[in-house]
C-alpha cells in the first residue's frame, strides 16, 4: 500500500522497530494489534493470520499437490479460525504441547 514502517508503526502506536519485528516474524502481534492492522490494510484479520501459516510441511504431515487445499487457509471455518487465534495467544511452550498433541492424534487416527 506504499506505507513506510514508520507510518504503520505510528498508526499502531508502537515503535518502528517493534513493527519491523512483526514483519520479520521475530515477535507476534497481539490480537488487538492484528485487528488494527486489518483496519489499516483494509483486509480481514484472518488474512493477516493466514500469512503466518503458509506451511506445506509439518513434521509427519506432508501435503501432496492433490491435497493442497488443506494447506491453504482461505476457507477456514469459524472453529479453525478460533483455534489459530487461541494458538497464537499461547506461550511457545504451550504451543509446542498443543502441536505435539495434535500430531499424536493424527498418527493415532492414521494407524
Q: pLDDT, tens digit, for every residue of 51-78?
A: 654 433 455 555 454 554 555 556 677 7
49 and 84 in contact (C-beta within 8 Å)?
yes
Q: What is the CATH number of domain 1-52?
A: 1.10.260.40
Global pTM exceeds 0.75: no
What DSSP string describes 3-64?
A: --HHHHHHHHTS-HHHHHHHHHTSS---HHHHHHHHHHHTS-HHHHHHHTT--SEETTEEPP
- Residue 13 pLDDT exceeds 70: yes
Closest CA to 8 of 31, 44, 34, 47: 34
Domain range summary for the chain, segments of one domain joined by +: 1-52
Which grid coordinates are listed for 91?
506461550
Amino acid at each position: 500500500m506504499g506505507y513506510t514502517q514508520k507510518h504503520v508503526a505510528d498508526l499502531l502506536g508502537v515503535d518502528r522497530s517493534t513493527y519491523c519485528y512483526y514483519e520479520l516474524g521475530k515477535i507476534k502481534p497481539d490480537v488487538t494489534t492484528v485487528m488494527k492492522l486489518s483496519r489499516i490494510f483494509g483486509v480481514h484479520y484472518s488474512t493477516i493470520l493466514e500469512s503466518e501459516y503458509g506451511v506445506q510441511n509439518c513434521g509427519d504431515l506432508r501435503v501432496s499437490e492433490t491435497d493442497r487445499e488443506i494447506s491453504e487457509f482461505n476457507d477456514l471455518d469459524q472453529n479453525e479460525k478460533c483455534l489459530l487465534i487461541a494458538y497464537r495467544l499461547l506461550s511457545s511452550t504451550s504451543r509446542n504441547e498443543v502441536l505435539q498433541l495434535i500430531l499424536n492424534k493424527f498418527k493415532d487416527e492414521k494407524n
